Amino acid sequence: MAMNYSEKVMDHFTNPRNVGEIEGASGCGTVGNAVCGDIMRIYLDINDDGVIRDAKFKTFGCGAAIATSSMATELVRGKTVQEALEVTNKAVMEALDGLPPVKVHCSLLAEEAIHAALWDYAEKNGLTIEGLEKPVSDIGEHDHVEIVEDEDDL
């Protein structure tokens, strides 16, 4: 199936930003599973003021999964924890000039991965981040289908 990826998606897939690990990261979250074909892991380095100094990712998945991870890490860098919560899947998609409908779940996974990393950070530091719920670590196929069907034609 030919994929109609935007130039931005192809750019972030071909030259992904922030690939890697952060040793002793403030927070690290992994979501998805290999059975579905997508796993995203995001590392965050957060300073004492609650500002995300650095974000890195590792992703097993398709071109869109890699591009959304790259964009998500770009978007949260330099933001406060609270601001990072506003990096939703829609924000990631918009920043990438859209995704094909069957790939919208990748942007949701990116949002989940950020939330999972923030949750890990909050747990490690005994913090409560307002508006952050414990993320589901596995996004099953059933969810994928619902998400794809609910999406507007992005």
In sequence order, which residues have a C-beta less than 8 Å from that of residue 55 and are 6 or more positions away?
18, 42, 43, 44, 45, 72, 73, 74, 76, 77
Residue number, 69 or 89, with CB nearest to another protein:
69
Least separation in angstroms between CB 67 and another protein: 10
CA dist., res. 61 & res. 66, Å (int): 7
Residue number, 23 or 49, with CB nearest to another protein:
23
Residue number, 37 or 78, with CB nearest to another protein:
37
Active-site option among 10, 19, 36, 62: 36
- Respond yes or no: is residue 36 known to be catalytic: yes
Ordered DSSP codes for 104-134: HHHHHHHHHHHHHHHHHHHHHHT---TT--P
User: Residue 120, class by beta-carbon neighbours within 10 Å (0-12 exposed, 13-18 middle, 19+ buried)?
Assistant: buried
CA distances from 33 to 11, 82, 111 (A): 25, 27, 15
| Residue whose entry in the numeric block shows the structure tokens 């995300």 | 52
Structure tokens given for 11: 């750019």
Least separation in angstroms between CB 49 and another protein: 29
- Respond yes or no: is residue 62 known to be catalytic: no
Residue number, 133 or 142, with CB nearest to another protein:
142
Least separation in angstroms between CB 16 and another protein: 7
Least separation in angstroms between CB 83 and another protein: 25
**Binding stretches for another protein (CB under 8 A):** 1, 3, 10, 13-14, 16, 19, 21, 30, 34-41, 58-66, 102, 141, 144-145
Active-site option among 39, 65, 76, 106: 106
Residues catalogued as catalytic: 36, 106
